[in-house]
Copies of this chain bind each other. A is one copy, B any other.
Amino acid sequence: MFKLNEDYLALRGSYLFSTIAKKVAKYKEENPDRTVISLGIGDVTRPLTPTILKALHTAVDEMGNEATFRGYAPDLGYEFLRKAIAENDYKKRGCDIDKDEIFVSDGAKSDSGNIQEIFSGDNVIAVSDPVYPVYVDTNVMAGRTGKFDEKTGQWSRVVYMPCTLENGFCPQIPSKPCDIIYICSPNNPTGTALKKDELQKWVDFANEKKAVIIFDAAYEAYISDPEVPHSIYECRGARTCAIELRSFSKNAGFTGVRLGFTVVPKDLKDGNGTELHSLWARRHGTKFNGAPYIQQRAGEAVYSPEGQREIAGLVSYYMDNAKTILKGLKEAGYSAFGGENAPYIWLKTPEGMSSWDFFDLLLERANVVGTPGSGFGPSGEGYFRLTAFGTKDNTVEAVSRIKGI
């Protein structure tokens, strides 16, 4: 008789954004006359830009021609894309990353969920609190997190690094031992970005303790502060302790296109000298069959001079929204953070309301959807996330409605 994976059954409720989607669907069904604006899930709204569209059309045409048709992609991704990434995202910033250390994938969500698989089941993870829920959830599914405590909202074998108003929403080096450290910078949901000297401390700590850092840089395109690194490999010694996750979703608007990549330097080895690169390659080769050719050509186009100009335009559009939200919230008397190096605004709920109560209030009174901070970790309770990814009109309207509550 087959049995199910008990670790799956231990998961708390459903995935945050699925829960929100269901609540919103129910509200819309019951209130068909209301126009609900979502500044909730971090999904972009601007269409793909001309250079990307051209690359997609050209690649589709190639797939219709026997001479240029492409079947299975190489395991790691096409060299044309890996070269463009190595050159533009790394060499240009002085980072020593080779094209063969880059693994092209269908997106950073898959990679951030799957990367834990190559580590031992008894390794202890450390996470910023609050943070993108996929890190903890996928470790729960792997049985790595111990027992859940209903009172604290914490898993017994997870080291939480509270990011609070008091520490400027920056994770502090933990005193408890940990093996795998997830850092997201610029952070989702707080919008906080670590400066180079702060990130360097993490790299030094990981090298000293032989821990590994999973560095999620999905929002690097939104960094405006020159002191904030775009890649962890801008720090000395990161090649021996860090894996970096990257996405095309937020810079080029690929949330529905699906493309991302993960960097695993060949200098990153365990205590026995085994390269993590070889394990990740094995996973990629066994459980994944490559990102689509047409998507990889679209990714290549992102790095062309025209592509770079166009995506800078997208980022600037969304960051104007961030300014609108920040300004509006402050005018309405809210305490709000982030929004300067990230497309996320992190606000304190008024009068000590719980995150989910504020979610309901905003949905019902302003018909605006945001994300409850508690969904990102226990220290997110009492906070709320708004994203800058809406259209300009919707963002202006949403802010005006929030001010009207």
A80 within 8 A of B: no
Which residue on chain B has the smallest CB distance to residue A291? Answer: B258
Q: With A6-B120, A48-B64 in contact, do A72 and B287 touch (Cβ < 8 Å)?
A: no
Q: Pick from A224-232, A276-284, A347-355 the stretch touching chain B.
A: A276-284
Asked if residues A53 and B64 are in contact (CB atoms below 8 Å), the reply is: yes
* Cα–Cα distance between A37 and B234 once the two chains are bound (Å): 45
Q: How many residues of A contact B (CB 8 A)?
A: 84
Asked if residues A60 and B71 are in contact (CB atoms below 8 Å), the reply is: no
Task: Please name all residues of chain B whose beta carbon is closer than 8 Å to the beta carbon of A123 when the two chains form the complex.
Answer: 2-3
Among A1, A15, A71, the one with the most B-chain Cβ atoms within 10 Å of its Cβ is A71
* Cα–Cα distance between A80 and B14 once the two chains are bound (Å): 25
Copy count, this protein chain = 2
Q: Mark A254-272, 1 if CB is under 8 A from B, else 0.
A: 0111100000000000110
* Cα–Cα distance between A211 and B1 once the two chains are bound (Å): 5
Asked if residues A282 and B11 are in contact (CB atoms below 8 Å), the reply is: yes
Asked if residues A110 and B288 are in contact (CB atoms below 8 Å), the reply is: yes
A106 within 8 A of B: yes
Task: Please name all residues of chain B whose beta carbon is closer than 8 Å to the beta carbon of A118 when the two chains form the complex.
Answer: 4-5, 8
Task: Please name all residues of chain B whose beta carbon is closer than 8 Å to the beta carbon of A109 when the two chains form the complex.
Answer: 287-289
A312 within 8 A of B: no
A195 within 8 A of B: no
* Cα–Cα distance between A286 and B113 once the two chains are bound (Å): 7
Which residue on chain B has the smallest CB distance to residue A209? Answer: B1
Q: With A4-B276, A285-B18, A286-B15 in contact, do A44 and B71 touch (Cβ < 8 Å)?
A: yes
Distance (Å) between the CB of A210 and the closest chain B CB?
4
Q: With A72-B256, A256-B70 in contact, do A120 and B5 touch (Cβ < 8 Å)?
A: yes
Task: Please name all residues of chain B whose beta carbon is closer than 8 Å to the beta carbon of A66 when the two chains form the complex.
Answer: 45-47, 391
Q: Mark A160-186, 1 if CB is under 8 A from B, else 0.
A: 000000000000000000011000000
Task: Please name all residues of chain B whose beta carbon is closer than 8 Å to the beta carbon of A107 when the two chains form the complex.
Answer: 289
Task: Please name all residues of chain B whose beta carbon is closer than 8 Å to the beta carbon of A326 when the two chains form the complex.
Answer: none
Q: List 9 A-B contacts (CB under 8 A).
A: A2-B180, A2-B212, A3-B119, A5-B121, A8-B282, A47-B65, A70-B256, A141-B283, A256-B290
Interface residues in chain A, defined as those with a beta carbon under 8 Å from any beta carbon in chain B? 1-6, 8-9, 11, 14-15, 17-18, 41, 43-50, 53, 56-57, 60-61, 63-66, 69-73, 75, 106-107, 109-110, 113-114, 117-123, 134, 137-138, 141, 179-180, 209-212, 253, 255-258, 270-271, 274, 276, 279, 282-283, 285-295, 391
